[in-house]
Chains A and B, each alone.
Chain A
Amino acid sequence: MERRDFLKQTITIIAGAAIPASALEFINPKSLFAANGGNTRWVFLADTQKCVGCGFCVKACKLENEVPYDADITRTWVERYVICKDGKMRVEGNMSNPGFGINADSPKGGRDGFTTAKIEVGADKHVEIKDEDISKAFFVPKLCNQCDNPPCVQVCPVGATYKTGDGVVLVDRSWCIGCGYCVMGCPYGVRFFHPVYKVAEKCNFCYHRISKGMKTACVQSCPFGARQIGNLKDPNDPVTKVIMTGRVGVLKSEYGTKPQVYYLALDREVR
């Protein structure tokens, strides 16, 4: 066979085969899963009006998920905000331009509750605000937002962090190389390095519990019902009903991450 003929025939065969081949559909396991088993989308609802900053959620989380108890890293935390009547930040010392900050803190992630009026502004540094200066003060629970468009998953160079079919972002401890790109990529600061496993770590909505029909440790431990977990794809789920009918806010929507932790009574000062 001449080379010319060989090439001609090859082209004909390929062109001919292309037509029936185009009729075939390549099945993506992900879309298959979504079509069949995808009736769950885990979401979280936090009611800041109900949160009193007791820190039970942080304690429960640390114990449940074996995050070293005294280490200054945590999967979930509670922030305290104290807004002054003049809208300004209270500082002592070297802050040159205090016109933009807020009075907020989360000592030990709020694990031991907020038992003093003093606000932590650095290592062993505190500032006290006079009661008459305060216009409002409140607590805000924080945890991983299990984003619909998670930047941490996008930037992981080895695919060690991934989003499950039911919307939770997980980390594969056996595959993470510990580069920290996901830590840098998260606008909410929920990621850190696990001091024991030396890999990226974050809240996963207690995936081992919720996938067995249980509540997350923080939800279960909250005495005030400030934290709730639900399935957004179930219209009868009480959490879904609140999200669908109430006025809920999310954190930092400007990053396009589509966060799935919804807040009731979210103040504009919340960072």
Chain B
Amino acid sequence: MMEIHGEAWTLKEFFCYPNEYIYWSIQIVMYPFMTGLVAGAFVLSSLYHVFGVKQLKDIARFSLVFSFALLPVAMMPLMLHLQQPLRGIHVMMTPHFTSAIAAFGIVFSTYGMIVASELWFVYRPHFVATALELKDDTNRGLIGNFRYLLFSALTLGCYDVSEHALEKDEKAVSKLAGIGIPVACFLHGYAGFIFGSVKANALWMTPLMPVIFICSAVVSGISLCIITYIVTMEIRKILSKMGNKAKDLPSYEELQSAEIEEVQLTSKYLVGFLLAAITLELLDLIFRGYTAVKSWDILREVIYQRDFYKIFVMQYGLGNLLPFILFKLPGLTVRRAALASSLMLFGVFMMRWNVVIGGQAFSASYAGFMDYVIPIIPTSLDTFKEGLMGALSVIITPYVLFYFINKVMPVFKYKGSH
């Protein structure tokens, strides 16, 4: 029997059109989730660079680099989802601009260039210092040679690190971060538009979709930054406790106090964006119920019956309300913040799931339902890509990338980073 795309993971009930399947599965859940993380991480770093929130200096540098590591991963789910991935470049070559997806390549690469140039200005002194250091090293070896080539290429031939030059760099960084905020929001609001403009889908079609997407994006981005920041700080604390007393590394106590300070402040922004996101989502829900147009009968069945557990328990309860309380209880500790951020991240993931999969949970006939049974153990390329394994590969990739990028642009090297 021939494999039909979507048949392996779609359960149909009652009257669905014969060609209907869950065509947009886990990878399309991952796509807005990952772009959301990119945008959110960037917005967090901009809070320091543009608005001068000094306390965020440490996490700002970190989230900027992490946002860069996440960037290629925002595209990965799309490539994994395409039936003809080798033709993905057509979107750049022959964009058909009436389509909301057509501008993706342009928006995405614009944003990528902004992040890359901002990083370059931030890390220029480091590139110059490393390149010069390696230049003087006469006994470099193969790896040293490679590093020397890499770092001198990264300086782009500009070795001026005078005070005047660095001042100019800083100005450039804040300008780029300033431009970056609207672009990051656009990148993600645009992902929301891709869904919100599908008139054939009753659940997706709302003008609020882009705004909801941006707010939840920032929530998820900040959450991920807090978690990853805490994890790396804990590792550093363990290292410093183990007596790794290199003289340019900060002490255990310094790390401790810096960590909680950063986390507390960042969580305030997190909660703010969460409230905005929830307000809009509830507004959308109330509006749909009140206007009760043709599609409401089936939407009500999906929202309040079939997906009730996923929406109200997992997304709003476990993913929003509980972390909100955890953040708001007095005396926030690092451990509690880590737990709350993880829950928040889960909540945003569930929101993406409930939008993407929930939007396909009912037939366009308004008389049938479809259920996505996520393939766990892949039996074919399709069930690998659009199953749990595909999703996990997307989740792991940014960390692998971060490991390598961190080698070139170290996030935690200086004591001065506090």
Residue ranges of A at the interface with B (Cβ–Cβ < 8 Å):
68, 70-74, 77, 89, 91, 95-97, 99-106, 108-109, 121-123, 125, 142, 151, 153-160, 175-181, 183-193, 195-196, 198-199, 254-256, 271
Contact = CB atoms under 8 A, between A and B. Distances in A.
A186 B363 CA distance: 12
B365 A70 contact: no
A159 B82 CA distance: 16
A175 B79 CA distance: 16
B23 A180 contact: yes
A155 B100 contact: yes
Contacts of A91: 14
Interface residues of B, number: 55
A177 B82 contact: yes
B90 interface: yes
B200 A187 contact: yes
Given A108-B18, A156-B99, 10 more contacts: A68-B2, A121-B15, A142-B17, A157-B101, A175-B87, A185-B200, A192-B4, A192-B19, A193-B5, A193-B6
B15 A104 contact: yes
A155 B101 contact: yes
The B interface is mostly helix, strand or loop, or mixed, namely loop
B87 A177 contact: yes
A255 B305 contact: no
Interface in B15-59: 15-21, 23-24
B24 A184 contact: yes
A76 B367 CA distance: 19
Contact of B99 (A97, A99, A154): A154
Contact of A71 (B4, B14, B96, B98): B4
Contacts of B100: 155, 181
Contacts of A186: 200, 364
B214 to A, nearest CB: 21
A74 B7 CA distance: 13
B94 interface: yes
B63 to A, nearest CB: 30
B198 interface: yes
In the A-B complex, the 9 residue pairs with the closest CB atoms:
A178-B83, A189-B17, A159-B96, A271-B365, A157-B101, A187-B200, A192-B19, A100-B297, A193-B5
B197 to A, nearest CB: 8
A153 B96 CA distance: 9
A183 B102 CA distance: 16
Interface string B183-208: 00000000000100011110000000
12 contacts: A100-B297, A100-B366, A102-B15, A151-B200, A156-B99, A180-B23, A180-B24, A180-B83, A186-B364, A196-B2, A199-B83, A271-B367
Given A72-B4, A189-B19, A199 B13 contact: no
A153 B175 CA distance: 39
